[in-house]
């Protein structure tokens, strides 16, 4: 039997945002495995060390973080032949046009703005779950 479990690496330095993602998943009955890294360096280490299982991985990425920003993380990820294929969805408060362009130039699967209202955030996570449930991930 093929393991269809999805493993999400949430890369975000804000504990409240991490809690909101977890709460939104609970509200939507999303039982996906969530691993957390507080910056790009820790995220790369988690991916390279196998801390996040190698099959069916998705990265949810904030852009504004200490030590290594989301864009710097994306550059490093795309330069690594073992990780370059990973789907990344940016989940950020940055509505800056330059950030959007940089992210899409680094082949992100999507760029989502964190909604202010929690109910909207719950809806956003439900939509994202429907998308990755339908996507054929290796």
Spatial separation of the C-alpha atoms in residues 57 and 2, rounded to whole Å: 15
pLDDT at 1: 39
Q: Which residues pair with 9 in a beta bridge?
A: 35, 59
Nearest to 76 by CA among 59, 91, 92: 59
State yes or no: pLDDT of 39 exceeds 60.
Answer: yes
State yes or no: pLDDT of 21 exceeds 80.
Answer: yes
In total, the chain counts a number of residues equal to: 138
pLDDT digits (tens, 9 = 90+) for 55-95: 889 999 999 998 899 999 999 999 999 999 999 999 998 89
> Which pair of structure tokens corresponds to residue 40?
């790009």
- Please give the CATH superfamily to which domain 7-134 belongs: Response regulator (3.40.50.2300)
Q: Are 128 and 112 in contact (CB under 8 A)?
A: yes
Confidence class of residue 32 from pLDDT cuts 50, 70 and 90? Answer: confident
Q: Are 35 and 61 in contact (CB under 8 A)?
A: no
Q: For the chain, what are the domain ranges? A: 7-134
């Amino acid at each position: 039997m093929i393991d269809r479990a999805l493993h999400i690496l949430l890369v975000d330095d804000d504990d409240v945002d991490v809690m909101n993602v977890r709460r939104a998943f609970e509200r939507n009955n999303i039982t996906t495995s969530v691993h957390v890294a507080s910056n790009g360096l820790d995220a790369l280490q988690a991916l390279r060390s196998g801390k996040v299982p190698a099959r069916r991985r998705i990265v949810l990425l904030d852009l504004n973080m200490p030590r290594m920003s989301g864009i710097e993380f994306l550059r490093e990820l795309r330069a690594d032949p073992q990780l370059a294929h990973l789907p990344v969805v940016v989940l950020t408060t940055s509505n800056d046009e330059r950030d959007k362009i940089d992210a899409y130039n680094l082949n992100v699967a999507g760029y989502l703005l964190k909604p202010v209202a929690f109910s909207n955030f719950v809806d956003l996570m439900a939509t994202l779950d429907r998308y990755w449930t339908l996507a054929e991930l290796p």
